[in-house]
Amino acid sequence: MKEEEWDYPHTMYGCNKLYCEKLGMYYGKFFGQKHLDENPPVMLDFRAIRFPGLISAFTLPSGGTSDYGPEMLHASAQGKPYACFVRADTKISFMAMPDAIKSLLVLMDVPREKLSNTVYNIAAFALTAEEFRQRALKAFPDAKITFDPNPRRQGIVDSWPEDVDDARARKDWNWTPDYDVDKFFDEYFLPEIRKRYGK
């Protein structure tokens, strides 16, 4: 998914995100409209990141549409059954929270002349819901995870891309995530889940 694709949101949340991007672009490029204003204002250096589903090892999932993955593991670690609200073949991009923070800090420091765009996709790894389930079963063999798709939530996820193209970020500001899928589970997420629940 390039920055110009998939930007027809199906939710108010998505509409507001796109609105903020467009507003930032307006203030960065067109505010004052040079030909209308004798003293055009200094333009805003607007920069934005489109994040995949962010997962923190230190906070509980809060019911977001992409939270089914971490919810599986939190439930499994507690010995609770979990009914996933999307289909097993549902696939979207995810990212560890430290990489999200890193991306903001890196993008802030890039000289403006090196940026070819104002809005950037970033990516780390993409997983299906079934792949998340398999990770949960590997870590917690007694996990009881089923699939009970909610048509409305499934519809929202189906309106998202399965993965995103972050080639512009990689080219313009050398974006690379620190956590691939294995490092995310083995070094970041699962150790903290085990610590939280004494597993």
Of 90, 48, 96, nearest to 65 (Cα)? 90
The Cα 78–Cα 124 span in angstroms is 27
One-letter amino acid of 55: I
Of 65, 54, 86, 79, nearest to 193 (Cα)? 79
**Other CB atoms within 10 Å distance of the CB of residue 61:** 17
Q: Exposed (0-12), middle (13-18) or buried (19+): which is 167, by Cβ within 10 Å?
A: middle
Check if the beta carbon of residue 98 is closer than 8 Å to that of residue 188: yes
Give the per-residue pLDDT at 15: 85
85's tokens? 């609200």
Angle at 163 between CA 96 and CA 140, to 5 degrees: 50
Which residues form the catalytic set?
13
pLDDT in tens, the chain (199 residues): 566 766 777 778 778 888 888 888 888 887 766 666 666 666 789 999 999 999 999 999 998 999 999 999 999 999 999 999 999 999 999 999 999 999 999 999 999 999 999 999 999 999 999 999 999 999 999 999 999 999 999 999 999 889 999 999 999 999 999 999 999 999 999 999 999 999 7
For CA atoms 51, 55, 59, 60, the dihedral sign is positive
pTM of the model: 0.87
Give the per-residue pLDDT at 16: 86
The Cα 110–Cα 92 span in angstroms is 28
> Could you give the 3-state DSSP secondary structure of residue 52?
coil
Give the per-residue pLDDT at 151: 96
